[in-house]
Structure 1
Amino acid sequence: MTETGVASPAAPIPPDSLVGKLKAACPQDWRNYAGHAFVRKLAAGTLPEASFRHYLIQDYLFLIHFARAYALAVYKSETLADMREAAAVVDALLNTEMRLHLDYCARWDLSEDEITETPEARATLTYTRFVLETGHAGDLLDLLVALAPCACGYGEIGARLIADPDTKLDGNPYREWIELYGGEEFQTVTRNAVAQLDSVAARRIGEAPEDSGRWPSLVRIFRMATQLETDFWQMGLERTE
């Protein structure tokens, strides 16, 4: 993986999509996130296990609020199609992804009780409350933009790691994580999230979002969420509370 975090051709975020345009508006913030040392060490298999365990715990706590945010998206939706799409994500998070996350954590000697009894780190709390507050104060588009660095960024990172010949897979303790987010199932999740944002944006602000009066606000939301994602990686790397 390159240190700059530049996306490979395999990345599932087209440059002409809303997320692609938001990335282009915040290039350094996106590079800091997608090319963070936490990710580079995952790819090399050199991330300290204590850092990964800390990240896994906080990521589960994050998923709880991620599900709440998509539940809020159901409420904020204006069409039945948007409601169904958001509700499907809530169902997948609560009944599939969080269970699989716990199963994966168990292989790292982390019990459900240990995870759920751990307080949220400041980075987790700050990020999740920003997303929820953005959704409460704004509309569905604002909320989805705040969710985009997570909902779409992990897919891009996974695709790049899988495609990068410098990524170590054999003997890498984090191979399963890399293959999860680089695999086709999660790439489909990412493409769906990108498409949902494009659909909502087209109805709200037209086909040229950068020409809309809301563009500066959307860029600010996306930039802040991306910076908070970077802080989340750093929290895992440093094992900060």
Structure 2
Amino acid sequence: MTEFTIPGPIEANSTVGLLRAACPQAWQAYTEHAFVDQIAKGTLPAPCFRHYLIQDYLFLAQYTRAFALAVYKSETLADMREAAGAVDALLNTEMKLHVDYCEKWGLSEDDMLATPEDPANLNYTRYVLDTGMAGDQLDLLVALAPCSCGYGEIGARLLADPNTVLEGNPYRDWIEMYGGEEFQEVSRAAMRYIDRVAARRIGDDPAQSPRWPQLKGIFTKAVQLEAAFWQMGLHASS
């Protein structure tokens, strides 16, 4: 699935692009995980996908809290508005859309809210929140980046890959959602947001900043936790 140019919203010279290039093995393990490959082929067992959907809904609640924290951590009104807009979109649009999608898989919102968070979910979301609490706005955004930007790359790649099975694939809607232009723009907007904050805090050449090793460490850990989230789905048996 890597024999063609990988499309997606991540520009090589962006902050996220540089961070991705700094952890190629971890990034590949995340974006080309067996869970993703089975979605592309339509072979992922339905119980695995349902478990993932439930945990993804619970993840979205914590993801929203992280953007609420980004409002507090922001230095400018423009950044506050950006983060507040993400909170509003997540709470009032994205989570509703997720519930509607999950209903097609026989899952109600009450079902999902009654399910405990999986340890992989707890590890990831609390890492992001802890990073944001201990650090500044840039630390938090870097910890959040593998989600929106990574899903954008995955969706674009799967949709463009001639090996992806769309006809008769029960996960076609998922592929088309993350590969579609609306989510691609969400990913591009996230990259631009991070670039603006990075330019203000560490300059126009992030890799030359004394903070770069720390930011690489935050990003790499978040990428690894994303891969563990996929693995959580594969481990689900019912």
TM-score range, shorter-chain basis?
Answer: over 0.9
Code of the aligned partner of 2:36: V
Distance 2:179 2:235 in 1: 25
1:175 aligns with 2:156: no
The verdict on how the C-alpha distance between 1:7 and 1:70 changes in structure 2, with shifts beyond 3 A counting, is farther
Q: What pairs with 1:38-187 in structure 2 (closer than 5 Å)?
A: 38-187=35-184
Distance 2:165 2:127 in 1: 35
Distance 1:240 1:169 in 2: 25
Runs of 4+ in 1 over 3 A off after TM superposition: none
Give the SS at the match of 1:16: coil
For normalisation by structure 1, the TM-score amounts to: 0.97
Alignment match, 1:226: 223
Give the SS at the match of 1:169: coil
The verdict on how the C-alpha distance between 1:240 and 1:90 changes in structure 2, with shifts beyond 3 A counting, is farther
Distance 1:38 1:7 in 2: 21
Alignment match, 1:211: 208
Paired positions, count: 238
1:111 offset after TM fit, Å?
1.1
Code of the aligned partner of 2:21: A
Distance 1:126 1:162 in 2: 30
The verdict on how the C-alpha distance between 1:7 and 1:199 changes in structure 2, with shifts beyond 3 A counting, is farther
Code of the aligned partner of 2:88: D
Q: Which runs of 5+ in 2 are unaligned?
A: none
Distance 1:237 1:176 in 2: 20
Code of the aligned partner of 1:78: E
Code of the aligned partner of 2:65: R
Alignment match, 1:19: 16
CA RMSD of aligned residues (A): 1.3
The verdict on how the C-alpha distance between 1:38 and 1:12 changes in structure 2, with shifts beyond 3 A counting, is same
Q: Which runs of 5+ in 1 are unaligned?
A: none
Could you tell me which of 194, 200, 207 is aligned with 2:191? 194
Deviations 1:18-76 (Å, cap 9, x if unpaired)?
00000110000000000000000000000000000000000000000000000000000
Distance 1:70 1:12 in 2: 21
For normalisation by structure 2, the TM-score amounts to: 0.98
The verdict on how the C-alpha distance between 1:192 and 1:166 changes in structure 2, with shifts beyond 3 A counting, is same
Is the 1:121–1:240 contact (alpha carbons within 8 Å) kept by the matching residues of 2?
A: no
Deviations 1:58-114 (Å, cap 9, x if unpaired)?
000000000000000000000000000000000000000000000000000001111
Distance 1:37 1:238 in 2: 12
Is the 2:166–2:172 contact (alpha carbons within 8 Å) kept by the matching residues of 1?
A: yes
Share of identical aligned residues, percent? 66
